[in-house]
């Protein structure tokens, strides 16, 4: 089961595919290569209308999404079988399949090899990570006309030029290495190019943003993990970790750091989001914050409601020990406790804020599709990314800056991590 924090993705999801309105002409389109320092105005908060210009700008970018949990959905709903859940065709109940990836113009995707925190007690964290990495690799083998595994920024560019979607691997949850740098190195050798240091629970060497802080950030071993990731060329992902852990990572790391699916705390006050002082540190580090789409993290009113979700879910788990009973209780609770969804404007508000505080070179997209169930209007699934491009144009971002947000910044950070690794091996 996917994490509680994403509004409990259990059972079927009530999804509606992103419905694109008719493409309309923009009344006063500036030149595509026009350069501006940042957003100057906000459009009205109605539905975003796609224009031909937005589609041209979107298609000419390499869109890199920092976090998608489809592998766990295939494991959970399809029993890890692409015969049972064939993503070559539209699949009800998930946010991601090949037709919608194509429609959304996705050029590269970090697929999450998520490891449930329960494995810290039950064991099997490394095995679960290996099984998820294997599933991602098998996905590329099953659909070779669509996916190709990427191990570097240059691979991403090369694969995209072939018209394929570059597939990268991110391990979500540092407990998966079971306190072993050898396991970390093995994950890298199998293709993992980032690791999220924690998930929803504090681990032996790093504090989580949504659990009791036991270490004041990173332990000495946690710092050693960061240094080893720098040596390997693996991006350090600070989504999910506590603010003190973020600051420790940014103090220790010599390579750019990412937050693969986090947003701006100043816009939505949830501990999964990044505060302004850390945004400034990320800018100095050369890193990137990849904005999460989950309504509970990005919509201000929803962020306040989500704070109590853990206690509620723990109570339901105690009351309903059988998995099916628990899932039904969660569905019923979600139905009776809806949260505000927000819109595509909400996501761009977060982008605007990160640009204001950290700069245009330090923001990207990390949707968390298939890891959460409540999403903003006009961002219901992976087909919907062009609406972000349109809204960025509406707010007077240039083509050059939009390309940075859609993927250029992440590729620069990945190249930076690769360079640090090369320097340490010389």
| DSSP for 343-393, written as a single string | BHHHHHHHHHHHHHHH-GGGEEE---BTS-S---BT-SSTT-HHHHHHHHH
- DSSP reduced 3-state for 211: coil
Q: For the segment 74-113, what is each residue's pLDDT rounded down to a tens digit?
A: 999 999 999 999 999 999 999 999 999 999 999 999 999 9
pLDDT in tens, 222-255: 999 999 999 999 999 999 999 999 999 999 999 9
Instruction: Tell me the sheet residues that pair with 194.
Output: 170, 235
For position 169, what pLDDT does the model report?
99
* pLDDT band per the 50, 70, 90 thresholds, residue 40: very low
pTM of this structure: 0.90
The helix or strand, by DSSP H or E, that contains position 290, with its residue range, turns out to be: strand 288-291
pLDDT-based confidence at residue 334 (cuts at 50, 70, 90)? confident
pLDDT at 27 over 50: no
- pLDDT score of 218: 98
Query: Other CB atoms closer than 10 Å to residue 31's CB: what's the count?
Result: 9
Confidence tier at 210 by pLDDT (50, 70, 90):
very high
Per-residue pLDDT at 86: 98
pLDDT band, very low/low/confident/very high, at 17 (cuts 50, 70, 90): low
Tell me, what CATH number does 377's domain have?
A: 3.20.20.140
Mean pLDDT over 263-269 rounds to 98
Are 87 and 382 a contacting pair, CB within 8 Å?
no
Mean pLDDT to the nearest integer, 358-379: 97
Mean pLDDT of all residues in 182-207: 98
What confidence score (pLDDT) does residue 7 get?
42
Secondary structure (DSSP) of 156-200: HHHHHHTTPEEEEEEEE-GGGGTT-HHHHHHHHHTTEEEEES--S
Q: Answer whether 223's CB lies under 8 Å from 255's CB.
A: no
Segment 381-416, tens digit of pLDDT: 999 999 999 999 999 999 999 999 999 999 999 999
Residues 174 and 205 sit within 8 Å (Cβ to Cβ): yes
30-34, 184-188, 250-254: least confidently modelled range: 30-34
**113 phi and psi, to 5 degrees?**
-95, 80
What is the C-alpha radius of gyration for the chain, rounded to an integer number of angstroms? 20
pLDDT (0 to 100) of residue 426: 63
Say what the pLDDT of residue 419 is: 98
With 80 as the cut, is the pLDDT of residue 138 above it? yes
- What's the pLDDT at 18? 66
CB of 412 within 8 A of CB of 418?
no
CA-angle at 227, arms to 222 and 231, nearest 5°: 145
Asked whether residue 307 carries a pLDDT value surpassing 80, the answer given is no
In the prediction, which pLDDT does 313 show?
81
**pLDDT tops 50 at residue 259:** yes
Q: Are 188 and 94 in contact (CB under 8 A)?
A: no
When pLDDT is averaged across residues 269-277 and rounded to a whole number, the result is: 97
Per-residue confidence (pLDDT) for residue 22, from 0 to 100: 38
pLDDT greater than 80 at residue 321:
yes
d(CA 179, CA 202): 13
Is the pLDDT at 425 greater than 80, yes or no? no
Residue 9 has pLDDT above 50, yes or no: no
DSSP 8-state secondary structure symbol assigned to residue 88: T
- State phi, psi for 38 to the nearest 5 degrees: 175, -170
Rounded average pLDDT over 342-371: 98
pLDDT at 143: 98
Based on the structure, what is the number of domains in the chain? Answer: 1
b/e sequence 174-209, b meaning 16+ C-beta within 10 Å: bbbbbeebebbbbbbebbbbbbbbbbbbbbebbbbb
Angle between helices 344-358 and 385-394 (to 10 degrees): 60
- % of the chain surpassing 90 pLDDT: 82
Q: Tell me, what's the pLDDT at 340?
A: 93
Round the average pLDDT of the chain to a whole number and report it.
90
Distance CA 415, CA 58 (A): 22
Domain enclosing residue 388, as ranges: 4-425
Enumerate the active-site residues.
67, 69, 172, 199, 240, 261, 368
pLDDT at residue number 46: 92
């Amino acid at each position: 089961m996917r994490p509680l924090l994403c509004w409990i993705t259990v059972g079927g999801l009530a999804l509606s595919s992103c419905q694109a309105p008719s493409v309309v002409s923009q009344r006063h389109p500036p030149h595509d290569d026009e350069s501006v320092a940042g957003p100057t105005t906000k459009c009205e908060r109605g539905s975003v209308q796609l224009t031909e210009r937005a589609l041209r700008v979107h298609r000419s970018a390499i869109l890199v999404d920092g976090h998608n949990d489809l592998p766990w959905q295939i494991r959970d709903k399809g029993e890890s079988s692409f015969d049972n859940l064939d993503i070559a065709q539209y699949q009800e109940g998930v946010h991601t399949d090949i037709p919608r990836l194509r429609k959304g113009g996705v050029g590269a995707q970090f697929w999450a090899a998520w490891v449930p925190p329960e494995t810290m007690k039950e064991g099997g964290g490394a095995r679960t990570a290996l099984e998820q990495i294997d599933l991602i690799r098998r996905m590329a083998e099953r659909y070779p006309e669509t996916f190709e595994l990427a191990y570097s920024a240059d691979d991403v560019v090369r694969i995209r030029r072939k018209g394929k979607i570059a597939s990268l691997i991110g391990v979500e949850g540092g407990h998966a290495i079971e306190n072993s740098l050898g396991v970390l190195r093995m994950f890298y050798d199998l293709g993992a190019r980032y690791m999220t240091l924690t998930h929803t629970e504090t681990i032996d060497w790093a504090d989580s943003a949504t659990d009791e802080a036991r270490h004041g950030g990173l332990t000495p071993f946690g710092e050693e993990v960061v240094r080893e990731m720098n040596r390997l060329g693996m991006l350090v992902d600070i989504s999910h970790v506590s603010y003190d852990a973020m600051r420790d990572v940014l103090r220790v790391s010599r390579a750019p750091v990412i937050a693969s699916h986090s947003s701006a705390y100043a816009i939505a006050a949830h501990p999964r989001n990044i505060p302004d002082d850390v945004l400034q540190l990320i800018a100095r580090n050369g890193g990137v914050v990849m904005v999460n789409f989950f309504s509970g993290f990005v919509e201000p009113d929803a962020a306040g409601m989500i704070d109590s979700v853990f206690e509620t879910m723990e109570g339901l788990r105690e009351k309903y020990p059988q998995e099916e009973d628990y899932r039904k209780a969660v569905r019923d609770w979600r139905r009776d406790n809806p949260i505000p969804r927000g819109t595509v404007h909400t996501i761009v508000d977060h982008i605007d804020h990160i640009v204001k505080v950290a700069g245009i070179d330090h923001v990207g997209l990390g949707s968390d599709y298939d890891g959460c169930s409540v999403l903003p209007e006009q961002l219901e699934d992976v087909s919907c990314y062009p609406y972000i491009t349109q809204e960025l144009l509406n707010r007077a971002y240039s083509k050059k800056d939009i390309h940075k947000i859609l993927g250029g910044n992440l590729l620069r950070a990945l190249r930076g991590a690769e360079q640090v690794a090369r320097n340490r091996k010389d």
